[in-house]
Amino acid sequence: MVTPLLPKATAVWLIDNTSLSFGQIADFCGLHSLEVQGIADGEVAVGIVGLDPVANGQLTQEEIDRCQGDPAARLEISKPTGDVPQPRRRGGRYTPVSRRGDRPDAISWLIKFHPELTDAQISKLVGTTKTTINAVRDRSHWNSQNIRPRDPVSLGICTQLELDEAVKKSAHRRTDEDRGKLMEEVAAAVAAEAAAVPLTPYELKKQQVQKEEAYDPRAEAEAVFGKSTAKKKEDDDNRVDRARKLDDLFKSSSDD
């Protein structure tokens, strides 16, 4: 339901200048009937000056008279006499001052994970200039050492819908190589993020149990001593056989 501008100020005027019920005023102004009663008792909206809805074209006197004569009737806001054109926004996107320091991080994220986006699209999403985009890409930005890729949606610089729309428009520029590279980078980013999160006691215990189950003392012994016992025995047997053959050879020579 469409409510009037400055609903509490409008409610103050209707209470002071009409005989409408609290329910009628509450429905029209989008307030609770108890809140309207509080305004009438002087407990709510103290000091607010009433706003005449008839003077600003939101109500007509005929509509007020109709509802005053019928307590069950409800006020209907007046329709505008003509469509008011909305001014078209020109220039780049406005970024709040508190978020402007995050723009290089957002640019770096878009360049890394969506290389198919053009500079114009990045400029429109983030609200920056092509000079800044090239500086981040070439790592010639004055703050390059502190720039780290961060999602512009999570930073509040653009909406997910705007990002998805830009990516969809540029999907034809993405190659299979870019897709494979993106998957690797995403996997690496997820792994790095997971490694940065401290493990819970349960996860630490589980990790320790897995290491104990995977422990192989024979493999460790082979790694330390170079050869297993079976292999060593086999080498000793070969050495004995060679020595025996050599003795047999000398004996046969002496007999001759």
Same domain, 129 and 168: yes
Same domain, 159 and 205: no
The reported pLDDT for the residue numbered 5 is 80
- Rounded Cα–Cα distance for residues 85 and 83 (Å): 6
In terms of Cα–Cα distance, which of 80, 75, 25 is closest to 50?
Answer: 25
The residue from 150, 175, 193 where one domain ends is 193
Domain of residue 36, residue span: 7-69
Find the distance separating the first CA and the last CA of the chain, reported in whole Å: 123
Would the pLDDT of 58 be above 80? yes
Same domain, 153 and 219: no
Would the pLDDT of 46 be above 80? no
Same domain, 189 and 204: no
Do the domain assignments include residue 205? yes
Do the domain assignments include residue 31? yes
Same domain, 132 and 45: no
Same domain, 119 and 147: yes
Do the domain assignments include residue 82? no
Same domain, 236 and 154: no
The reported pLDDT for the residue numbered 101 is 83
Q: What average pLDDT does the segment 138-149 reach?
A: 90
Q: Which residue has the higher pLDDT, 45 or 55?
A: 55
The reported pLDDT for the residue numbered 89 is 53
The reported pLDDT for the residue numbered 94 is 64
User: Side-chain half-sphere of 127: how many Cα atoms within 13 Å?
Assistant: 20
The residue from 163, 193, 223 where one domain ends is 193
User: Which of 81-95, 99-113, 123-137, 144-158 has the weakest average pLDDT?
Assistant: 81-95
Do the domain assignments include residue 86? no
The reported pLDDT for the residue numbered 100 is 77
Do the domain assignments include residue 231? yes
The reported pLDDT for the residue numbered 2 is 74
Task: Work out how many domains the chain is built from and give that number.
Answer: 3
Task: Express as a percent the part of the chain with pLDDT over 90.
Answer: 11
Same domain, 183 and 216: no
Return the SS3 of 251: helix
The reported pLDDT for the residue numbered 156 is 85
- Rounded Cα–Cα distance for residues 160 and 151 (Å): 10
Do the domain assignments include residue 164? yes
Same domain, 227 and 175: no
Q: What is the pLDDT of residues 197-246, one digit of tens each?
A: 666 776 777 777 777 776 666 666 565 555 555 556 666 677 777 767 76
Would the pLDDT of 88 be above 70? no
Same domain, 106 and 188: yes
Do the domain assignments include residue 85? no
Same domain, 106 and 189: yes
The reported pLDDT for the residue numbered 186 is 62
The reported pLDDT for the residue numbered 216 is 65
Spell out the residues 6+ positions from residue 211 whose beta carbon is closer than 8 angstroms to its own.
none
Furthest-apart CA pair in the chain: how many Å? Answer: 145
The residue from 176, 193, 210 where one domain ends is 193
Same domain, 178 and 213: no
Do the domain assignments include residue 74? no
Please state the φ and ψ torsions of residue 80, each to the nearest 5 degrees.
-65, 145
